[in-house]
Amino acid sequence: MLRSASIVASILTAFGLALSSAALAQSAGKPDLKKGADIAGQVCAGCHGADGNSPTPANPKLAGQHAEYLAKQLANFKAKPGAKEPERNNAIMAAFAAQLSADDMRNVSAFYASQPLTPAAARDKTLVELGRNIYRGGIAAKGVPACAGCHGPSGAGLPAQYPRLQGQYAEYTESQLTGFRQGTRANNASMTAISARLSDVEIKAVSDYIAGLR
């Protein structure tokens, strides 16, 4: 019982953005969507598309993603004072994030959040049952909680806490879960712990299932 409570507490406190971050964002004033669109066109569109619907599975779809989550991820590509490396270690994104102020990040994140998502689709019929079972029910024997517990049955997530997953490229989701497992992405302790318990096949299955969520 204590172990289960600890896992739940860890997820609630470490997964996604803290509520206090949302309060700080709101206090900073309303984002400027026009400035965000300008930044998207000049800095982000080459990889993520002008409207956030990336044309390439290696790059995530940003359209419709929660603004607070996007702003946090951009900030995580910058190393904190005194830290040797940023929490998300990606040389390309680090170079782009270095050009952006906190307001820039907030504006471009709000712009992409306002864009309609053109969702990807699940493709591997052989894995759909496994992916559905993991997403909806987790894997009790491994201590893996249901993805739906935080991200919702449809993968819509929850602003300021859990990112939207629905319709994301399976290839991208798979790469991020693998990154959490390997420690190459280290900006979420709960996802690191959860991914460490998943096999390659389980990661692939749940990633493909997520791509088909609506």
pLDDT tens digits, 12-66: 444 443 434 444 444 468 999 999 999 999 999 999 999 999 999 999 999 999 9
3-state secondary structure of 173: helix
Query: Mind listing the pLDDT tens digit for each residue in 200-209?
Result: 999 999 999 9
pLDDT of residue 80: 85
pLDDT at 211 over 60: yes
Nearest 10 degrees: Cα torsion 151, 207, 111, 114: -60
Answer with the residue of higher pLDDT: 12 or 130.
130
pLDDT of residue 94: 95
Query: Mind listing the pLDDT tens digit for each residue in 158-206?
Result: 999 999 999 999 999 999 999 999 999 999 999 999 999 999 999 999 9
Of 3-7, 26-30, 88-92, the range with the lowest mean pLDDT is: 3-7
Number of H helices, E strands in the chain: 12, 0
Which tokens sit at 189? 């302790």
Residues 111 and 62: beta-carbon distance below 8 Å:
no
pLDDT at 132 over 70: yes
Residues 177 and 207: beta-carbon distance below 8 Å:
yes
Which tokens sit at 48? 């993520």
> What whole-number percentage of the chain has pLDDT above 90?
82
Most distant CA atoms of the chain, gap in Å: 51
Backbone angles phi, psi at 144, to 5 degrees: -95, 115
pLDDT of residue 15: 41
pLDDT of residue 82: 87
pLDDT of residue 26: 45
pLDDT of residue 28: 60
pLDDT at 1 over 50: no
pLDDT of residue 164: 98
pLDDT of residue 11: 43
pLDDT of residue 12: 40
All domains of the chain in start order, with CATH: 2-13+120-211 (1.10.760.10), 31-113 (1.10.760.10)
Rounded Cα distance, 123 and 120, in Å: 9
Question: In the predicted model, what is the mean pLDDT of the chain?
Answer: 90
Q: State the pLDDT confidence band at 84, using cuts at 50, 70 and 90.
A: confident
| Closest listed residue to residue 133, CA positions, set 70, 64, 142 | 142
